[in-house]
Amino acid sequence: MAERRPVTNARTTVRVGEESLERGAGGELHQTAGADTPTLTTAQGIPVADDQNTLRIGARGPSALEDFHFREKIFHFDHERIPERVVHARGMGAHGYFEAYESLADITRADPFQEKGKRTEVFVRFSTVAGNKGSVDLARDVRGFAVKFYTGEGNWDLVGNNIPVFFIQDAIKFPDIIHAAKQAPDRGFPQAQTAHDNFWDFISLTPESMNMVMWIMSDRTIPRSFRFMEGFGVHTFRLINAEGKSTFVKFHWKPKLGLQSVVWNEALKINGADPDFHRRDLWDAIQSGNFPEWELGLQLFDDDFADRFDFDVLDPTKIIPEEEVPVRRVGRMVLDRVVDNFFAETEQVAFCTQNIVPGIDFSNDPLLQGRNFSYLDTQLKRLGGPNFTEIPVNRPRCPMHNFQRDGHMKMDVPKGRANYEPNSWGLGPREDPVRGFRSHPTPEQGVKERVRSETFADHYSQARQFYLSQTETERAHIAEALIFELSKVETPAIRARMVAHLLNIDDSLARNVADGLRLKDMPAAADAALPTRQDLKESPALSVILNGPGSFAGRKVGALVTDGADAAVLQALKAALEKAGAMLEIIAPRIGGVEASDGTWIDADHEIDGGPSVVFDAVALVVSDAGAALLTNKPPARDFIADAFAHLKFIGYVEAAKPLLQKAGVLDSLDKGFIALSGPADAAAFVATCGDLRLWEREPGITPV
């Protein structure tokens, strides 16, 4: 890739809304420093000239190891918590395998891709980012999607998220974004939320975050299940074949069950009903034999494409639209075994971005370069010493031979006198120039300085592209999310500053948010380092709704039943769901169950207080006349129906359930989302209808845009 001219280090004054701010060398915005403003220093008291960019060789080159300020800042950040992870503390792991669809030997020598049908053991950990271990699963948050491949040539960790971009372009800002997103240090709240001043203050002063803002305010951050979300490697990597040829790659995980998210009100209620909803869902799916499955996709491109692409492929705040570089699906990952012990495996698993194997290499993405530098510090702090690689979940499945000795919690017992090389005893391993890992010999040149490439300077165009690629329903959700989050911000200037940025993304979005916040005065659009492009094509691949499953496989219906429930309807419903690869769970007035119309006993999975409709994808009301009369006096039964209606779910009902519909206030609002179960023959039609997951056309009448 050709070297591109760097931006100047000069600071300039810009206006964001009604505020006069200073733009730094990295594009970040600062309130103008006063005469009494102290100088930022290192912990050793050394004044800091640039806190926005790591020291690198050339504007687009690799980071320099001598950057003591970055090293100290990341080192301190990595050691701020014990014993839980600083980020991604709340997680759930599972075992499985990756199976290659074809040989990729022409583009990489990486072990998992050498043979069609080759299986590689994996361990996957899903997580939320901002919350602590005791937080809830359905927080509005990015989800971690980390995969450890136990290959024949060592462990490869593909440490990703369910969103393909990130907040920042340079790893030196990572402590700042996480500090801002976490609970305020003086009060210790809010927990697992970004709806507070610190977060939006930082974001509104960091224009490079605007693309990520669109993603995190979208339905992507409230997924229905880990099983129904995508995963991304975020960064640009390289694949290297046996001849040393390099191909750029971006990694994608595509769920076989399609994408699905919840609505915000539903997320809040799920957190109250079952704060372990995502973790329980993954556990139950594997235990029941409904193994979650994803396909690994690769976006492959060369230097010529990288040079002509509209944005810099090293910028982690940007994507390459799938319409420009299609995703080539090269294998599948199946999770088929839960952990035996949560602490020993899920808690002690250590993912490190620098864990790559021959055939895979890094790019000069500055965020990736910093992550590679940081992760060993994190594992040392969390797991107590340098021997965390000997913990079973972290231990490679291939042989390990080296001269590393001793250290806290050493498990192996090395033999012999030689603990160094070269030695003349003929003992121990030796390097292998043929099989061994070799970094791609990329020529690097440039002035050693703290600077950011001008190719990273467009902060709004892809944010606009993402927003316009959503359906009208999803655009409304983004506006509602921004209004909700910013309504929790106590400082009016921060709210106005964010609206000023939104004006550079989409005028109607900005005005909807401003109206929702009731800003007295519309701010001027924020000064932009580069103008927002209007010519980027919409990308349907960015929409959750447009990439739904088209079936009800992997989903769950909750049937509210009473004594005298029509046994034939229930049996037909169960059979239709099983045929569709879905599940039926029974909710009864009491946990012991009910006696059906034919005298059979039906065990309950939940009693009505503990089985709200929010934990199901659709509901069915299979009650008797007497049972309906009993449930009309139970508020949880009313909420069961009212919430299902408000959350746009499909509702199957028998004639006897109409008094319940009346009590819930929805009998006069029956739409095509209500399916009458007049007899067993109607069960299949109900399940087929449920494949749409939501009746989105119902939403405008419930939640005004």
**DSSP string spanning 492-533?**
HHHHHHHHHHHTTT-HHHHHHHHHHHT-SSPPPPPP-SSPPP
End-to-end CA distance of the chain: 46
Helix/strand/coil for 91: strand
Helix pair 174-181, 68-78: axis angle to 10 deg:
30
* Rounded distance between C-alpha atoms, residue 452 and residue 4, angstroms: 11
209: Cβ contacts below 8 Å, ≥ 6 apart:
167, 168, 177, 203, 317, 459
Residue among 93, 399, 416, 108 nearest 246 (CA): 108
Is 277 in contact with 138 (CB distance < 8 Å)?
yes
Choosing from 88, 95, 459, 477, the catalytic residue is 88
Residue with tokens 């008094």: 659
Question: Does 161 participate in catalysis according to the annotation?
Answer: yes
**DSSP 8-state symbol, 659:** H
> Other CB atoms closer than 10 Å to residue 353's CB: what's the count?
24
* Rounded distance between C-alpha atoms, residue 373 and residue 379, angstroms: 12
Helix pair 492-502, 472-487: axis angle to 10 deg:
160
Is 634 in contact with 641 (CB distance < 8 Å)?
no
* Rounded distance between C-alpha atoms, residue 611 and residue 12, angstroms: 57
Residue among 362, 333, 359, 325 nearest 435 (CA): 359
Longest dimension (CA), the chain: 90
Distances (CA, A) of 537 to 13, 212, 250, 466, 479: 32, 18, 20, 10, 21
239 beta partners: 247, 360
Burial 307-326 (b: 16+ CB within 10 A, else e): eebebbbbbbbbbbbbeebe
> Other CB atoms closer than 10 Å to residue 577's CB: what's the count?
26
Residue 201 C-alpha from the chain's centroid: 22
Distances (CA, A) of 546 to 327, 470, 538: 17, 8, 12
* Rounded distance between C-alpha atoms, residue 343 and residue 291, angstroms: 22
> Other CB atoms closer than 10 Å to residue 440's CB: what's the count?
14
Tokens representing residue 118 in the block: 């080759």
Dihedral Cα 554, 560, 563, 569, nearest 10 deg = -50
Residue among 379, 536, 374 nearest 460 (CA): 536
* Rounded distance between C-alpha atoms, residue 40 and residue 35, angstroms: 14
How many residues are there in the chain?
705
Question: Does 88 participate in catalysis according to the annotation?
Answer: yes
* Rounded distance between C-alpha atoms, residue 393 and residue 350, angstroms: 8
Residue among 411, 394, 409 nearest 125 (CA): 394
* Rounded distance between C-alpha atoms, residue 592 and residue 586, angstroms: 11
* Rounded distance between C-alpha atoms, residue 226 and residue 194, angstroms: 21
Choosing from 69, 95, 155, 161, the catalytic residue is 161
Catalytically active residues are 88, 161
